[in-house]
Structure 1
Amino acid sequence: MTRNPLTLALLGGLMLGGCTLAPSYQQPLSPVPAQLGEANGNSASELTLPSWSSLYQSAELQQLIQSALDNNRDLRIAVLDVAALRAQYQIQRADLYPNLSVDASGSRQRLPSDLSGTGHSTLSDQYGVQVGVTAWELDLFGRVRSLKDASLEKYLASEEAQRSTQLALVAQVAQSYLTLVSDRQNLAISRETVVAQEDSLALIERRYESGLGSELDVRQAQIALQEARANLASFERQVDQDYNALAVLVGGPLPTLKSVNLDNDALALVAPVPQGLPSALLTQRPDVQQAEHQLRAANANIGAARAAFFPSIQLTGAYGTMSSELSGLFDSGSKAWSFIPSISLPIFSGGRNRANLDLAEVRQDQAVASYEKAIQTAFQEVANALQARDTLARQQQAQQALVTATEQSLTLSQQRYEQGADDYLAVLDAQRTLLSARQQLVTLKLQQLTNETELYRALGGGWDAQQPTHVASR
């Protein structure tokens, strides 16, 4: 049976276009130690990080995080970037296949007698219907397929970038909320201090009016009260700024927030991370996976640059029917076809192809360095968070003991002042020390919770979205 040359060429091209000249991908060796901390036999598969809705028990915080995931503009931009690169990949992938089109045409032409060759004017008609393909590249050396692979990896990298943005957003909302809670707690301490200083000043003024105190005691109490009021105003401003920062992350007005402190059980994080994890766990981080997809894209681009040194074959053709009469288009014998292959062999380009290949190889080296740097950064962040966890716990215990001792010291100082054994300066020193100790304890609690949040972010966990759905066909 006779086959159309165009059909045979299309089938052959689709069967042959399956290989590329890209180098075999080799994942770079990890540039960090094999273990995070001391080895204890844990494996990456043994660690399951909870979703953020399980990690953060506070219903109020969960609501804020969900609002941020729905409304945050940075995350919205990242989602749109993924959609754009997905469409770009689909455009590039379409180049693997011939672009078929159906064309119908009709024409009528009149020639004057002096041009017809017969001495009489003539009328001629022509009608045609054809299925054709125009300038389809026969991808024998994998140039188009390499470009498609590079586009796919860029799309997958954008999905990981979206995950990274989402993970960072969850951590930022949690940290911003915890900062607001801590500043509100410090604000409450400042208000208590102002009330205590006002009571102290009233007591000292009565003692002075009764002849039991000095004017210096009154002035010192007034100074302490104004210091407390200044401190109160500072935390009022800081709390307002915390609200503004949280509103920007959430992407809209904040709901009414309950008055809680850092000792609230709902703010405690769950599922402590064990020590001695393998550093291979870091490859699960979205930024590390993003860097690897970018490396794979650079690797594919080398294949496209190599293919530019080889001939480029393009096919153009059509198959259909033609007739001088519209009614005769599909009559026997009206079949018509055309087949126009073309080949382009690069001979001299002024070194352009060589330079393009050199550029592709340099960019691959850059992608390797970026991948290694991403792993090193991840290792440093996780190692720092693991080390800070134990020291912060010990520091917080010591600070709590300091607050208790300072409270006792203030009580004794007040008793000695009332008995006339000490001047009021000793009471002021004890008050300032207690205020500083209480505020430092709040700061340490904030650092401990923030460090746990940062540890989950650094490990690439603690978020609730589904894994991105990768394109099945590569």
Structure 2
Amino acid sequence: MDTSYVDCLATSPALARTERAIEIGAHLVSERDGYTHHGIYAGNGQVIHYGGFHHSAKRHPIEYIPLRDFAAGKGIKVHSEPDAIYTGVDAVERARARLGEDRYRLLTNNCEHFCTWCVLGAGHSQQVRRCLRNPWTGIKTLFALARDTFRDFARPILRQRHPPGCTTCRQRRTGLVSHFSAQNFLLSYLMGQRMSIRSNNRRRASGALKAGVPVMFAAALSACVNYAGIHSDAKTAEPQQFATQHSLPAEQGHWPAGNWADQFGDVQLKALIDEALKSNPTLDQAHARVAAAAAYSETAKASTMPRVDASYSLMRQQFSNTTFVPPPFGGSWQTENKGVLSASYDLDLWGKNREALKAAISQQQASQVDAEVVKLTLTTSIARTYNQLARLYVLRDIAQEEIAQREQIDRITAGRIATGLDTEVERKTAQANLATSRASLKSLDGQTLTTRYQIAALLGAGPDRGLQITRPTLGMGDEVRLPDNLPADLVSRRPEIVAARWRVDAMVHDVKEAKAEFYPDINLSAAIGLDAFGFGRFLTAASRTAAVGPAIHLPIFDAGELRAQLKGRYADFDYAVATYNETLVTALSEVAIQLADVHSTDDQLADSQTAQDAARKADELALVQYKAGLTNQLTVLNADVNALSADQAVANLRMNRRDQQIALAAALGGGFVDASNADSVAAPRADASAPNKPFVAAR
């Protein structure tokens, strides 16, 4: 730990200079005997810390405390945080946001968790990790905490042993002499020494010891099964870390809206998309997955609540003469009536059930975003298939013009044969070309019909629905310009990225749930009911039965099962992080590729239109010359083929340009906006990771 020592035991002027030397937002550490206490310096000699059991045996919330009281007669250190995400005023503001919180947990939400959350964005405790890795260290730390807590508890008791104004007590209060320390008091009590303390105070001390010993013993046992050495360094990538300045320049454009398809000005396309969103089976499947995830979340939530059950049984049974059943029931047949109302509650001290609930909520959110992915994929597929239908119609128009052109060539050839300028060879060639053009037209008609059927399937309707689709009237769409701050904002615009982020968040909570398995489980249960032989006495007071008590489960030795389970959760976390990073890289690449294709097509289209104009003029001149007998058929056919190719090239480029614009709108999210936050929903507690910060599973 890289720290610098600050003396807080000096005189008041020196302390004032020390306060001025500490930077606001600094992570302060005060050494105790066996452990450390942590706080965030808020300026003006004030520290924000998680009180916990710092003051006394009574738990305290997050609060302000003077710097001298925070030091508690010890020195303090400024803990250096080279990887700090929040510094200065930002760290203090995060600390202030949790003032008054009273959810102190020694192993999962202590003062060090609080400070690392304020500075690093995620709470963790090196002290807890050391204790879990080394059970003996954990036992010593627990005894140190118990000693300090007991000292605060016993201090008012010890003061009663001396009259007011006792010099020894006054010296002890100033910290110069320890006349009767808590350690001596504890040792004396354990050795059975008689002490002149009021009997009620002695009973309080005895009760505190008896309650503390089982807790320390249970914690020591639970440390036997630990997750030392199991961790992950995987982090989700930030879009800013990828070089995109040249490939994705800021062009002051706009993100696509939810009705992005309206830019092409085709009313029929809008109607088809609306129809598909109402009746498509694939979208229904996505909605069913969302419902299943919501049901699983409700199941996980039920685990955090008390459970109440009722049961009734009627049993006709012959009891043995040689068991615990006394005569006259032993050896006889009896009818036992038993009705029980039982209740149970898992205290969930380590947050296992709560983390399972948070993981389920994150998975539910991921499923909801997956439905948006399906929706975007569906609308994009309809738009692109509809654009393909428009392409086929345009190519069919070109094919019909070509048929008319070649029919004219055939007629001219027939006239030239009559005048002796051509032979039957030229006539058959003209007829062959005409038949080829007619075959191409029929092929386009078949493709058009197939495309109609494809659109009908996307609508979730029968093939006949496709026959009702009329010719598309698509325009070229809006000008293509990328929005500013694209890489950073894309993570909340692409539903695939948002879904992947939710799954990373779910895996974070799965890891925490697996870690909670290493700690003791405490379940409380109670039952009341009636139990009697026969029916006559069943509803009497004598048939009442009741039971109440705790059940404690301590993981001591499990042959590595819990560690293997945690390793599996970490592997799932690493996979989720890798998937998120891959999705982010793919999304950035798709935007860059579609943008490059759009610009390339625009450049090609300008040259192709020039070539088309020239080819058309050459075709017209060749036909005039052929008709006048100034050139041969081969020249005319070559010019005709060139004109046909130029027309088809321009038509395909225009359709490709529209298809690329549709794909670019989808690559930019298709109007999706993530208004939620994975941390605020799935991890409402303040020790969760910061929004839009890299996820790192707790080590």
Instruction: Give the TM-score category using the shorter length.
Output: 0.7 to 0.9
Q: Which residue of 2 aligns with 1:226?
A: 435
Query: For the pair shown, which has the larger CA radius of gyration, 1 or 2?
Result: 2
- Please report how far the alpha carbon of residue 80 of structure 1 lies from its aligned counterpart in structure 2 after TM superposition: 0.9
Preserved contact between residue 504 and residue 576 of structure 2 (Cα < 8 Å):
yes
User: What TM-score, normalized by structure 1, do the two folds share?
Assistant: 0.83
In the alignment, the residues of structure 1 paired with residue 321 and residue 467 of structure 2 have an alpha-carbon distance, to the nearest angstrom, of: 89
Q: Which residue of 1 aligns with 2:415?
A: 206
Q: Which residue of 1 aligns with 2:384?
A: 175
Q: Which residue of 2 aligns with 1:7?
A: none
Matched residue SS, 2:571: helix
Closer, same or farther: CA 245–397 of 1 in aligned 2, 3 Å: same
Answer yes or no: is 1:392 the counterpart of 2:601.
yes
CA RMSD of aligned residues (A): 3.7
Q: Which residue of 2 aligns with 1:133?
A: 343
User: What TM-score, normalized by structure 2, do the two folds share?
Assistant: 0.58
Answer yes or no: is 1:258 the counterpart of 2:470.
yes
Answer yes or no: is 1:93 the counterpart of 2:93.
no
Bigger drift between 422-431 and 383-392 goes to: 383-392
Preserved contact between residue 53 and residue 62 of structure 1 (Cα < 8 Å):
yes
Bigger drift between 80-89 and 108-117 goes to: 108-117
Residues 318-397 of structure 1 aligned to structure 2 (within 5 Å):
318-319=527-528, 325=537, 337-397=546-606
What are the ranges of 5 or more consecutive residues in structure 2 without an aligned counterpart? 1-102, 114-120, 124-234, 684-699
Q: Which residue of 2 aligns with 1:409?
A: 618
Q: Which residue of 2 aligns with 1:270?
A: 478
Matched residue SS, 2:466: coil
Residues 109-124 of structure 1 aligned to structure 2 (within 5 Å):
117=327
State the one-letter code of the partner of 2:470: K
Q: Which residue of 2 aligns with 1:243?
A: 452
- Please report how far the alpha carbon of residue 199 of structure 1 lies from its aligned counterpart in structure 2 after TM superposition: 2.5
Answer yes or no: is 1:51 the counterpart of 2:259.
yes
- Please report how far the alpha carbon of residue 259 of structure 1 lies from its aligned counterpart in structure 2 after TM superposition: 2.8
What are the ranges of 5 or more consecutive residues in structure 1 without an aligned counterpart? 1-14
Preserved contact between residue 362 and residue 503 of structure 2 (Cα < 8 Å):
yes
Deviations 1:166-223 (A, max 9, x none): 0011000000001011112111211221222122212211221232323332132122
In the alignment, the residues of structure 2 paired with residue 18 and residue 288 of structure 1 have an alpha-carbon distance, to the nearest angstrom, of: 36
Q: 1:425 aligns with which of 603, 627, 634?
A: 634
Matched residue SS, 1:315: strand
Matched residue SS, 1:96: coil
In the alignment, the residues of structure 1 paired with residue 107 and residue 564 of structure 2 have an alpha-carbon distance, to the nearest angstrom, of: 23
Q: Which residue of 2 aligns with 1:142?
A: 351
Q: Which residue of 2 aligns with 1:285?
A: 494
Q: 1:443 aligns with which of 646, 652, 655?
A: 652
Deviations 1:25-78 (A, max 9, x none): 9754335235474644859xx646342463443111112112221222221111
Closer, same or farther: CA 307–389 of 1 in aligned 2, 3 Å: same
Closer, same or farther: CA 113–396 of 1 in aligned 2, 3 Å: closer
Preserved contact between residue 171 and residue 454 of structure 1 (Cα < 8 Å):
yes
Preserved contact between residue 138 and residue 314 of structure 1 (Cα < 8 Å):
yes
State the one-letter code of the partner of 2:424: E
Closer, same or farther: CA 122–239 of 1 in aligned 2, 3 Å: closer
In the alignment, the residues of structure 2 paired with residue 234 and residue 273 of structure 1 have an alpha-carbon distance, to the nearest angstrom, of: 37
In the alignment, the residues of structure 1 paired with residue 543 and residue 515 of structure 2 have an alpha-carbon distance, to the nearest angstrom, of: 45
Q: Which residue of 2 aligns with 1:70?
A: 278
What's the % identity of the aligned pairs?
24
State the one-letter code of the partner of 1:258: T
- Please report how far the alpha carbon of residue 102 of structure 1 lies from its aligned counterpart in structure 2 after TM superposition: 4.3
Closer, same or farther: CA 210–277 of 1 in aligned 2, 3 Å: farther
Aligned residues: 449
Q: Which residue of 2 aligns with 1:79?
A: 287
- Please report how far the alpha carbon of residue 231 of structure 1 lies from its aligned counterpart in structure 2 after TM superposition: 1.8
